[in-house]
Amino acid sequence: MKIGFIGLGNMGAPMAANLAKAGHEVTGFDMADVSIDGVTMAASGAEAATEADVVITMLPNGDILRAVAAEIIPVMRSGAVLVDCSTVDVDSARAVAATAEAAGCLAVDAPVSGGIGGAAAGTLTFMAGGTDAGFAKAEALFDIMGQKAVHCGAAGAGQAAKICNNMILGITMIGTCEAFALADKLGLDRQKMFDVVSTSSGYSWTMNAYCPAPGVGPQSPADNDYQPGFAADLMLKDLRLSQQAAESADADTPMGQAATELYARFVEHEDGAGRDFSAMLPRFEKRGRG
Ligand code: NAD
């Protein structure tokens, strides 16, 4: 397939490299000066998109996605698919899909989980929204860049799945960290806390697979001085998207709102920027109720 790939940053670069390695003809564009093995660089997004059967975008946010889509959709071939893998707001995903479809193209929103490691290893999970025809055309590429792709529903459903999942993740991480900090103050050994909770009804992915306490549970960013991993900044981005969506859909999400406020304080006013999102534990550890 001829693939245009726009946005070759931490995630996009290894994803594009994997597509090229699998034998696809990949033409890439990024505002920054990048070069990737096997990928031909274009001078603009439009140039990367013109001849493509599939155009993949991996961009920072919904405003940038809308601007790039406005530039490339008019030059895309009729029947070509625009696959946006960025994490953006549901409204932008739906607006871009509507513009693409009005121009005779297909559109799929397909945000990912798995992070930079998953992008490099080709083991991402894609959660996709769009028509059956769009998903069918993109599926072979999801198989190269990832290990699982779930077609969640119509346009925007992929972004909806991603932010609902990550809202649960943010809330659960905070709950796990504050429980560890309380256990400390009650004199409970962290290993004992893990042994009980990880096999009791308080268990979760954040406790069992990504334990925020160093030296306890499986290897996690806590064991590496809270180097990300999944940065608190990215968690804050996803939580904000969840609250933007909740606002737009009139959904009551008090825990999501509290988690957003806490991660905002942590990243913007404390020492959370650039640290793993599980560094909430040392944050709570240092504090009392006041
Ligand atoms: P990044 O900042 O490393 O990459 C974004 C790239 O887009 C940059 O190289 C930038 O130069 C380029 N860009 C910006 N505006 C552009 C434009 N108008 N035209 C062309 N290129 C442009 O970010 P990333 O970590 O690769 O993340 C990309 C997306 O994936 C984000 O939406 C992020 O939320 C999501 N995501 C990231 C991770 C992660 O662990 N990094 C995990 C899951 C999802």
- Measured CA to CA in angstroms, residue 255 lies from 35, 157, 194, 211 at distances of 43, 22, 24, 21
Q: Considering only CA atoms, which residue is closest to atom 29 of ligand 1?
A: 86
pTM over 0.75: yes
Q: Considering only CA atoms, which residue is closest to atom 39 of ligand 1?
A: 115
**pLDDT confidence of residue 45:** 98
Number of the ligand 1 atom closest to the C-alpha atom of 86: 32
Identify the band that residue 209 occupies on the pLDDT scale cut at 50, 70 and 90.
Answer: very high
State yes or no: pLDDT of 273 exceeds 90. Answer: yes
**pLDDT confidence of residue 134:** 98
State yes or no: is 137 an active-site residue: no
Number of the ligand 1 atom closest to the C-alpha atom of 231: 40
Active-site option among 162, 192, 237, 286: 162
**Ligand 1 pocket residue status of 11, Cβ below 6 Å:** yes
User: For residues 12 and 58, is the Cβ–Cβ distance under 8 A?
Assistant: yes
**Ligand 1 pocket residue status of 12, Cβ below 6 Å:** yes
Ligand 1 centroid to residue 235 C-alpha, Å: 14
Ligand 1 binding pocket mutation candidate from 27, 29, 30 (most atoms within 8 A of CB): 30
Q: Tell me: the pLDDT tens digits for 157-177?
A: 999 999 999 999 999 999 999
Number of the ligand 1 atom closest to the C-alpha atom of 34: 9
Identify the band that residue 183 occupies on the pLDDT scale cut at 50, 70 and 90.
Answer: very high
Q: Considering only CA atoms, which residue is closest to atom 7 of ligand 1?
A: 7
**Ligand 1 pocket residue status of 38, Cβ below 6 Å:** no
Q: Tell me: the pLDDT tens digits for 221-254?
A: 999 999 999 999 999 999 999 999 999 999 999 9
State yes or no: pLDDT of 290 exceeds 90. Answer: no
**Ligand 1 pocket residue status of 115, Cβ below 6 Å:** yes
Ligand 1 centroid to residue 290 C-alpha, Å: 38
